[in-house]
Structure 1
Amino acid sequence: MLKGAIFDMDGLLLDTERLYCESWIEAARAFGQEPVEGFPRAVCGSGGQKMLDIIGKYYPEVDAEAFRDFCLYRVLDILQREIPEKPGMREILYFFHRHGVKLAVASSTKLDTITDSLGRLGVLPLFDAVVSGQQVEKGKPAPDIFLLAAERIGCAPGECYVFEDSANGIRAGAAAGCCTVMIPDLIEPDAELCSLADAVYGSLNEAIEAVLTGSI
């Protein structure tokens, strides 16, 4: 078992990627655009300037920042009423916590949204570090966020698991040199992601079993 475990949040711990997909579609219509196929996959897991660049590529006629904010505020409004958990979220966090593994969350989401969501679910105290895409120069798929998370929990990147659901997150975890584990949500792994990920499991509970048996 490795010394650290770093988790993405949306689509991995929280069942929120569907909310984002719906909100991107609403944003496109609100800005007078036809929803572009492939955009949700491309933007999933990104943040900061990278997200704005992706919006600009798929929707060149819109104000990328306003388009982004429309989506994010819609999701935040929904999360004020309910925060949907992914199956196995509590189990895997408590499993690692019991075994003395240092925990971090590394999400492209704003810091206050991360702490509010995990705090309301009662799991924030389990984490030794919380890292937001706001705190690094380059967002996923750059490795910066995972390198910072590993540093903050006092582990080398190679001593950490990274659990991710998105293509950009898997690319970032692999680039950081972490043991990168994909738990697919809306995006099934293609040949590229299978080659980058150290393992792919259908759920967080399956990942627990893999750690217990020494598969990862």
Structure 2
Amino acid sequence: MTLPRMPMGVVFDMDGLLFDSETLHRDAARDAAIEHGCELPDAVFLSLIGGTWPDNRARLLAHFGEDFAVDDFEARWARCYARRAAAGPALKPGVGEMLALLDSLGLKRAIATSSSHEAVRRNLAAHGLDGRFDAVVARGDYARGKPAPDPFLLAAKRIGAVAGTCLALEDSPHGVRAAAAAGMAVVMVPDLVPAREAERALCCFVAEDLHAVAKAILAVAP
């Protein structure tokens, strides 16, 4: 597991990468489907991970049909998630080590997520991580969401780095494609969706957790 070079900045996805929130989203989506009188297959939910709401809205309508009350379902999903995530999602393994390493190396870091700024603030505050990221790019900041490169390109700009010199850390196929399209070195740390050959071909390597990523950065550090 090696990196091609020392990164000049690191861009993190949030859900499923920094926080164990994708499992909460999955369970909340199931709750919402039951309330809505339908069933959400796992394959459909997994196709939504890392996507933007307009794209995911289209995926839900493609599955359930054009007469599906998708906006009502989305509102139910949000309420169910709020209940399940009231205490804040758990940190994923290795987050603390990664941030401490970036501090010691003087590397800037950003979050690039399809979630809202409010969700980012809530998750960071729950773990005392306010101020640990130099920039946050969230829903509403870009014209095109993942798998388009826009979130990653903007994140690099906001930390004053050239995108091609940055390392992107992602858990989802949509995110991996977005980061690769931005010209970044990519490491996938899978959460609910395993790495397929298509994602592996775009990554420097696939890591079990952020501890492994930290070791790879140390190996190329000056």
Residue 182 of structure 2 corresponds to which residue in structure 1?
A: 176
Give the number of aligned pairs: 215
User: Is the 8 Å Cα contact of residues 165 and 182 (structure 1) preserved in structure 2?
Assistant: yes
CA distance in 1, matches of 2:153, 2:74: 26
In 1, Cα distance between the equivalents of 2:150 and 2:72? 26
TM-superposed deviation, 1:33:
1.6
Equivalence for 1:3: 8
Residue 120 of structure 1: how far off its partner (Å): 2.6
1:204 is aligned to 2:210: yes
Aligned to 1:157: 163
In 2, Cα distance between equivalents of 1:55 and 1:137 = 21
Which residue, 64, 70, 73 being the options, matches 2:70?
64
**More RCO (CA 8 Å, sep 6+):** 2
User: What is the CA distance between 1:207 and its match in structure 2?
Assistant: 0.6
Structure 2 segments unaligned to the other structure (5+ residues): 1-5
Matches within 5 A, 1:59-138: 59-60=64-65, 61-138=67-144
Could you tell me how far 1:139 is from its partner in structure 2? 1.2
Structure 1 residue ranges, 4+ long, deviating more than 3 angstroms after superposition = none
Aligned sequence identity (%): 33
Secondary structure of residue in 2 paired with 1:209: helix
Partner of 2:26 in structure 1?
21
CA RMSD in angstroms, aligned pairs only: 1.5
Give TM-score scaled by structure 2 length.
0.91
Q: Which one-letter code corresponds to 1:170 in the other structure?
A: V
Q: Secondary structure at the match of 1:180?
A: strand
**Match status 1:41 vs 2:34:** no
> So what's the TM-score if we normalise by structure 1?
0.94
* CA deviation after TM superposition for structure 1 residue 30, in Å: 1.8
- 8 Å CA contact 2:29, 2:80 repeated in 1: no
CA distance in 1, matches of 2:204, 2:128: 30
In the alignment, structure 1 segments of 5+ residues that lack a partner are none
